[in-house]
Amino acid sequence: MEREEMKVITVRNLKKTYRNGVEAVKGIDLDIEPHEVCALLGPNGAGKTTTLKSILGFINYEGEIKVFGKPIDEVRDRISFVPAERSFYGYMTLSKAMKFCERFLPNFDSKKSLEMIKHFRLPMDKKIAGFSSGMKTGVYLSFTLAQEADLYILDEPTWGLDPIMRDDVLEMIREKVIQGKSVLYTSHIISEVEKISDRIYIIDKGKIRYSGALDGLKEQFRIFYLPIEAMKKLDNRDFSSLRKVPNRIVVLSKDPEEWEELENLSEMEGTAPNLEEFFQFLIRGE
């Protein structure tokens, strides 16, 4: 218990079934460590937003969630977030929304926010409802990242941004960790996750399919390309994952004892997977 209190977020057996019967999250555990960028990576509809909404206490759920060892309502002042829906400021102009933030967001740094608004080249006198999706993302980031907090929870923080702005935002996120803060964010863009995350949770169909440090992947797994005939020799074997590509079977194996045998069959050394390959295996593996 004492060790768990050291964690930034602990999620235990989180389940969420919406009223329409959709089981969006089916019993997941998360441990978000301090001073890390942790990514929740998954395809559309995987349950990422539902997980963040549960952590933020915006929806009812089953299971246990603690943030800084406490229920979320006791630590809200230490958290800043970008929500999935970017419609909160509705028909306010950006300058009016800014005044709203100055009044209601704890530890809000107006100067920093203005700098970011300038960086995103957002017009102060126009209504936010008329902004493009990338501009709306810019608005929320300009408010959220200008708030002094210990934990940043960001739902798709690069949604709609052009590649240059996207890179800038990734740097801003990384910068938070350098300053000693912690970040949990969702994404379905693998290259982004690879660039800035220390730890990843891959989620699909409401379940965690992989969790661990990004570096750990390359040490733990090997990929082998085998001729189709080799498949017979592998019958009834329980590999981490198998995929078919034209004329080849691709095997992802976590068992070092197996690697030599697979190397002989493929007549090639196994390679460490990158995140893209690994993700394809988990999500599209057979």
Ligand X SMILES: Nc1ncnc2c1ncn2[C@@H]1O[C@H](COP(=O)(O)OP(=O)(O)OP(=O)(O)O)[C@@H](O)[C@H]1O
The distance of closest approach from Cβ of residue 64 to ligand X in the complex, given in angstroms and rounded to an integer, is 19
Indicate whether 83 belongs to the interface with ligand X (CB under 6 A).
no
Nearest-CA neighbor of 229 among 252, 249, 246?
249
The residue type found at 108 is F
Nearer to ligand X (CB atom), residue 122 or residue 189: 189
Q: Is 87 in the site for ligand X (CB under 6 A)?
A: no
Give the one residue of 10, 49, 147, 182 binding ligand X; rule: CB under 6 A.
49
How many contiguous H segments (helices) and E segments (strands) does the chain have?
A: 10, 12
Contact 233, 226 (CB under 8 A): no
Stretch of residues binding ligand X (CB under 6 A), selected from 39-47, 102-110, 171-179, 215-223: 39-47
Asked if 44 is part of the footprint of ligand X (rule: CB under 6 A), the reply reads yes
Total residues binding ligand X (CB under 6 A): 13
Q: Between 45 and 130, whose beta carbon lies closer to ligand X?
A: 45
Looking at residues 200 to 239 of the shown chain, list those that interact with ligand X (rule: CB under 6 A): none
Question: Among the candidate windows 44-52, 67-75, 144-152, 243-251, which touches ligand X by CB under 6 A?
Answer: 44-52
Q: Verify binding: residue 42, ligand X, rule CB under 6 A.
A: yes
133 counts as binding ligand X under rule CB under 6 A = no
Tokens 């200008």 appear where?
146
Calculate helix-pair angle for 110-119, 133-144, nearest 10 degrees: 160
Expressed in angstroms, the distance from the first to the final Cα of the chain is 38
Binding segment (CB under 6 A) for ligand X, from list 43-51, 103-111, 241-249, 274-282: 43-51
Query: Of the two residues 57 and 123, which places its CB atom closer to ligand X in the complex?
Result: 57
Using CA atoms, how far residue 109 sits from 112, 152, 198, in Å, is 5, 15, 27
- Under the binding rule (CB under 6 A), the answer on residue 46 touching ligand X is yes
Exposed (0-12), middle (13-18) or buried (19+): which is 34, by Cβ within 10 Å? Answer: middle
**Residue 59's closest CA among 85, 35, 77?**
85
Which residues contact residue 106 at a Cβ distance below 8 angstroms, ignoring those fewer than 6 apart?
Answer: 76, 77, 147
Q: Which stretch in 37-45, 110-118, 157-165, 277-285 sits in contact with ligand X by CB under 6 A?
A: 37-45
Judged by beta carbon, residue 54 or residue 266, the one nearer ligand X is 54
- Of 7 and 48, CB closest to ligand X: 48
Structure letter (DSSP) for residue 149:
-
Q: Where do contacts with ligand X occur on this chain (CB under 6 A)? A: 18, 20, 22, 24, 42, 44-50, 188
